[in-house]
Amino acid sequence: MTRKTALILGARSDIALAVAREFAAAGWDLQLAAREAGRLADDRADLELRHGIAVSLHDFDALAIEGHTAFVAGLPVLPDLVVCAVGFMGDQTASEGDPAAAVLVMRSNFEGPASILAVLGNAFEARGSGTLVGISSVAGERGRAVNYIYGSAKAGFTAFLSGLRNRLAKKGVHVVTVLPGFVATHMTEGMDLPARLTARPEEVATAIRSAVERRRDVIHVRRIWRFVMLVIRAIPERVFKTMRI
């Protein structure tokens, strides 16, 4: 049996590397794509040594949209699975005051990821198989005062993934939306996150593999988030705007 290949976009993030380890342990070959992919050389050696799989590194800039088609055409093989872990939280206060900062957050979380998944989705559609995993966020489920720039971009990405799934479902291509909730990563280092709501990157990776194997559509990582978001979505806007949440 030939081995399957997973492409991981935004591969330098903690979640992406945990996903890489998860699929490597399951015997998948990997394509790791990120800006300055050369900095992943140690990770490549480690994954190959531990798991006896093949790993290739690819320079990839989610914001350089004009290069996305060429990027996909240039991959050594069209992967069986894509996990998009591209994202950038930015600084909400800066985003409020500086349109350029806000646009960067929006492009990094919506435009860039949607663009590359559109190209890959078309290639998968032509082949008639494949799985696309987009890591979005619970922040996209409702606009909150403290992170709505990031949240609005993630909302766009979540809607994009939903639409892509519904279009490609008839073509043998599956799309998974991941809404991780809080994750203890470099991005959230130093933030005071509630322990029960905060997943480790390895939990996210395990949840993603399980979702891929079981062809789930939308997943949270820790179940408690389903209830948290149920409550948050149920609060009337009239009340929500008076809350500090």
Q: Which one of the spans 48-56, 86-94, 105-113, 171-179 is the region binding other proteins (CB under 8 A)?
A: 48-56
When asked if residue 191 is in the footprint of other proteins (CB under 8 A), the reply is no
When asked if residue 49 is in the footprint of other proteins (CB under 8 A), the reply is yes
Closer residue to other proteins (CB): 46 or 125: 46
When asked if residue 3 is in the footprint of other proteins (CB under 8 A), the reply is no
Closer residue to other proteins (CB): 42 or 237: 42
Angle at 124 between CA 122 and CA 129, to 5 degrees: 150
- Residue 114 near residue 157 (C-beta atoms within 8 A): yes
The answer to whether 148 is a known catalytic residue is no
When asked if residue 51 is in the footprint of other proteins (CB under 8 A), the reply is yes
When asked if residue 224 is in the footprint of other proteins (CB under 8 A), the reply is no
Taking CB under 8 A as the criterion, the residue among 45, 73, 169, 230 binding other proteins is 45
Taking CB under 8 A as the criterion, the residue among 127, 186, 215, 223 binding other proteins is 186
When asked if residue 167 is in the footprint of other proteins (CB under 8 A), the reply is no
Q: How far apart are CA 76 and CA 181, in angstroms?
A: 34
When asked if residue 43 is in the footprint of other proteins (CB under 8 A), the reply is yes
85 CB-near residues (< 8 Å, 6+ apart): 8, 9, 10, 11, 13, 15, 16, 19, 135
From the candidates 60, 71, 110, 150, which is the catalytic residue?
150
Q: How far apart are CA 93 and CA 209, in angstroms?
A: 35
Site for other proteins in 91-150 (CB under 8 A): none
DSSP state of 107: I
Report CA-CA distances (Å) from 198 to 112, 218, 219, 244: 26, 18, 15, 20
When asked if residue 46 is in the footprint of other proteins (CB under 8 A), the reply is yes
Q: Which one of the spans 44-52, 146-154, 202-210, 211-219 is the region binding other proteins (CB under 8 A)?
A: 44-52
DSSP state of 51: H
**Number of other residues whose CB lies within 10 A of the CB of residue 128:** 10
**Number of other residues whose CB lies within 10 A of the CB of residue 17:** 23
Residues interacting with other proteins, by CB under 8 A? 42-43, 45-46, 49-51, 186
